[in-house]
Amino acid sequence: MNTRRALLVDAFTTEPLAGNAAGVVPDADGLSVEQMQAVARELSVSETAFLHPSASADRRIRYFTPTQEVDLCGHATVAAHAHLFEEGVLDAGVHTLETNVGDLDVEVTEDGVVWMTQSQPTVRPVDVDYDRASDALGVPVDSLRAVADDLPAAVASTGLPFLVLGVDFLEAMGGATPDTSAVAALADEYDATGVYLFTFDTLAAESTVHARMFAPGAGVPEDPVTGTASGACGAYLRHVGAFDALPEEMQFEQGAFVDRPGRVRVRVGDAVRVGGRAVTAFDGSLVVPDIEDDEILEA
């Protein structure tokens, strides 16, 4: 057994215990997949980032939910780099990051804002049974159909695919009562990591959209604030021509309905970038046991 430093860093906020908490293990060199999965399960936040040496970039990162590895995670990337910047491990500037979807650029500004360049976006329109989506999400079907002509359903990705659905009013978003099994099946049918709901009816006047994201199939019943999905939605909004002129920067608010409010900054140009701040809420150490293959029981 060995001991590793482990942190909980709240991303897309400047207030502790708000935004989206990410686990960060700043030195994961030598940990096996089984050990990283066990640590992520123990920290029990939506994603935990494990930092490793890299041959192709400044560092390698792997992301685990409590149940599985995922290829990309915006809020855990922001959390990890905000921690490294705070510790003086890296300076302001552009840094490269090796992920499962390729090497990406991460910029840290002098005042501590972390900007993550995401993978090239794809937007794939899909035919959705809105009655089924309504039943799965607990959102009135009329609230989905009301915007479907202008904001058609699509699977958007900037590294992770999300089923993107527009909703007419914030009240309908707040009243969502998702059936986790049905949501997981809905996302799986479209090869999506989760379902991302958004509306232009926002809490803050300066916000572009309000969003909620459900990914129970990946072990995340509801993600408080989702960087990668925000970037994917930004690409989607450009694709469907949601604005006469796409704003240079959009602000995505999320998390209010789970008491973890946060805000993601999104820029969609030649590349899609998501940005935000982060604050450390917990800093400690974790004992990582040796894990033998024969100790893992298969269901």
Which positions are annotated as active-site residues?
47
Distances (CA, A) of 192 to 34, 61, 75, 92, 235: 25, 22, 18, 34, 16
| Ramachandran angles phi, psi of 185, nearest 5° | -65, -40
| DSSP codes, the chain | -EEEEEEEEEES-SSTTSSEEEEEES--TT--HHHHHHHHHHH-SSEEEEEE--SSSSEEEEEE-SS-EES--HHHHHHHHHHHHHHTSS-SEEEEEEETTEEEEEEE-TTS-EEEEPPPPEEEE----HHHHHHHHT--HHHHHHHHTTS--EEEESSSEEEEEE-S-HHHHHT----HHHHHHHHHHTT-SEEEEEES--SSTT-SEEEEEEEGGGTEEEESS-HHHHHHHHHHHHHTT-SSS--SSEEEEE-GGGT--EEEEEEESSSEEEEE-EEEEEEEEEEE----GGGSPP-
